[in-house]
Structure 1
């Protein structure tokens, strides 16, 4: 089953049928909706709500879910090649809500204490898909896609993710300062899974670094979702994460995190890092960063299911200066926790991640894949890179 999936990932992507998931009220596309089958295998819609039913080769039933919408289950045989899936939205209140006798910080503490019952404690494998793109001064410069598996030791080492690239492809690196991805899958999964590692705003010993407040609620009949905002509580420029946390009221499971760096504190870090410093090598300075992190329930436990990270950096070498925008997406496709396979990361995390992936210089046959369709921006990036070769 797993081998079939990974062959489909690259070789079965020449001609795909696309479906779309839309909001039944606004008729707008629903981006990053979870689509899973009865085995827990899944993917997600792209930025314009598109997905391919061709991904689910051996599935019988398909479930569509999103934090803000009612779930929908459909037999695969009832889905046509050009179907539109309509999801009904929940009511989302963005006014401050109150939970009797509990502050927002109390809810965060309860969610942290509930992590052991919501997150699997045994070792497990995650299988997934990763795409990363880079633009230089608004022009496409590099794109990478890989299928992978990870291994985590569970409670023995919550942050100990190892990642193995199973198959991958990349364009050439057209950045003038040779910006390259460092860390890749192992790094993004390790850093993003803040719930499992109980890090940052989920470190119960450092909650005083943050201010928490109720900012809204998703009024689901099945399981209402509390939306709690967080921001730094002090002037330390390195304490700069702010955003929203989504928590199921009944289970206290943390199901989504939206975070970004405080712009003013990033400016202060940039100013201090540049002061009086010269370098003969390129210097890349982070100026913007934001991320969306999602968890979904598989086998009665919650797993990291989706991550999107957007970063903007200034690249400087002498009098040269370029603006680099990078986007990285991680999608969980399958969980194996019955007989997980131990593995070691098969690339040097400290070196350029893309160097370990097969380059396709002329982009021959680089089409859509059935795990996740390209966004319009990613299509533009590939076009820009093709134009550079002509």
Structure 2
């Protein structure tokens, strides 16, 4: 079953990494860079995964786990405004000229209760889910070329052991068909500290494809199928808002009698269009043996490996009245027990991908190009980019977290010494 290899996220344990890097030459137009932080107006807490979109354009980015963002605006768009939005908050619109010196943006919480009459439109939460999964006409119906920024980190306990970043172009198929999307590598960099991996190399196969497959509407088979939906319990949660629109909240978890590891979490569904706006869910990892079989493809005989956490997030946004994939995050934690060793090792794998630009492509999606990635592609080791502060040029990226910034600085120092 496809959901037995969820998001094609496979871990192998051996020391050889395979991959091929390609770089595209790029010309850099003149742009201004805006940095800031989005916080809750009342609590002053940082707002994670908030959307930042340049009005009347396809350019966007997202806040990191510190609530911080960086937005690169071409000169041709400096007269525009920027929309700031977050699940459960009122959206805010500010002119770019106001943002150049405005480092903190506050959003106001906004909770809206859907009336009992509105909820009773559906027999139950499961009926609403089924309607949402087949409601594909409210999503992008064109071939699209999406620019995405991808970041992947592997940590041993709290220390970064591997850091990969890439700009990719996603050849996104219309939601109206069932053809798979394609991913083209534009630019990337990576560094791995094998000494922190204790001779145990964690191979993350799939790279950007792992995150792309969290698009539940395009790839429902990885979590919800006609066969496994009856294995879940569904219920309505407290409603909220996205961009000032009321949103249904569906809670789901596997039935107590089901042994097979399934998922639990929340689905956020726009009350007007019945489009999935956000989803946050996790794998039930209580059954170590079965959960391990879903992720571990190859490992040494003398080691026992099992997941202790597997959490997924996907966000959608609207453009020209149509919904489309915008961001996803995957967080996996594994415990590694070596026979004969007193202490175990804990590895955390985190990957995220944000769509920062896109355009409609009126021609057919390219099926064969030199830089096309495969679902089993592994980003190769490459450190040259980390010593170049202008490595990404005009590309919009996700602002590094403080811990990642620290790791990059260490990499720069190592390069200087060598």
Residues 208-223 of structure 1 aligned to structure 2 (within 5 Å): 208-218=230-240, 222-223=244-245
Which of residues 63, 68, 72 is equivalent to 1:50?
68
Q: Name the CA distance, whole Å, in 2 between partners of 1:41 and 1:101.
A: 36
Would you say 1:326 and 2:326 are equivalent positions? Answer: no
Which of residues 25, 28, 43 is equivalent to 2:42?
25
Would you say 1:39 and 2:19 are equivalent positions? Answer: no
In the alignment, which residue of structure 1 is the partner of 2:313? 292
Residue 388 of structure 2: SS of its match in structure 1? coil
Residue 147 of structure 1: SS of its match in structure 2? strand
Preserved contact between residue 20 and residue 84 of structure 1 (Cα < 8 Å)? yes
In the alignment, which residue of structure 1 is the partner of 2:334? 313
Which of residues 35, 41, 61 is equivalent to 2:81?
61
Deviations 1:105-124 (A, max 9, x none): 1211221232x221223322
Q: Name the CA distance, whole Å, in 1 between partners of 2:399 and 2:272.
A: 34
Residue 237 of structure 2: SS of its match in structure 1? strand
Residue 178 of structure 2: SS of its match in structure 1? coil
Q: Name the CA distance, whole Å, in 1 between partners of 2:293 and 2:220.
A: 29
Would you say 1:229 and 2:251 are equivalent positions? Answer: yes
Deviates more, 1:160-169 or 1:44-53: 44-53
Would you say 1:252 and 2:277 are equivalent positions? Answer: no
Deviates more, 1:167-176 or 1:340-349: 340-349
Greater helix proportion? 1
In the alignment, which residue of structure 1 is the partner of 2:119? 99
Q: Name the CA distance, whole Å, in 2 between partners of 1:6 and 1:90.
A: 42
Q: 1:98 to 1:235 in 2, by over 3 A?
A: farther
In the alignment, which residue of structure 1 is the partner of 2:366? 342
Q: Name the CA distance, whole Å, in 1 between partners of 2:306 and 2:337.
A: 8
TM-score (ref. length: structure 1): 0.83
Preserved contact between residue 16 and residue 368 of structure 1 (Cα < 8 Å)? no
Preserved contact between residue 90 and residue 243 of structure 2 (Cα < 8 Å)? no
Deviates more, 1:217-226 or 1:254-263: 217-226
In the alignment, which residue of structure 1 is the partner of 2:107? 87
Q: Indicate the RMSD between aligned Cα atoms, in angstroms.
A: 3.6
The structural deviation recorded for 1:280 is: 5.0
Q: Name the CA distance, whole Å, in 1 between partners of 2:76 and 2:361.
A: 20
Deviations 1:209-256 (A, max 9, x none): 211001211157942111110111254443421100001111111000
Q: Name the CA distance, whole Å, in 2 between partners of 1:210 and 1:250.
A: 25
The structural deviation recorded for 1:270 is: 5.6
Tell me the matched-pair count.
375
Residue 35 of structure 1: SS of its match in structure 2? strand
In the alignment, which residue of structure 2 is the partner of 1:303? 324
Q: 1:365 to 1:200 in 2, by over 3 A?
A: closer
Preserved contact between residue 142 and residue 381 of structure 1 (Cα < 8 Å)? no
Residue 151 of structure 2: SS of its match in structure 1? strand
Preserved contact between residue 148 and residue 165 of structure 1 (Cα < 8 Å)? yes
Q: Name the CA distance, whole Å, in 1 between partners of 2:164 and 2:181.
A: 21
In the alignment, which residue of structure 1 is the partner of 2:20? none
Which of residues 190, 195, 218 is equivalent to 2:217?
195
Which of residues 360, 379, 385 is equivalent to 1:354?
379
TM-score (ref. length: structure 2): 0.78
Deviations 1:254-289 (A, max 9, x none): 000001011323x2426889xxx9835877533310
Residues 359-378 of structure 1 aligned to structure 2 (within 5 Å): 359-360=383-384, 363-365=386-388, 371-378=397-404
The structural deviation recorded for 1:58 is: 3.7
Deviations 1:299-357 (A, max 9, x none): 22211111111001234565465321111111011222243552546345435x121x6
Q: 1:4 to 1:41 in 2, by over 3 A?
A: farther
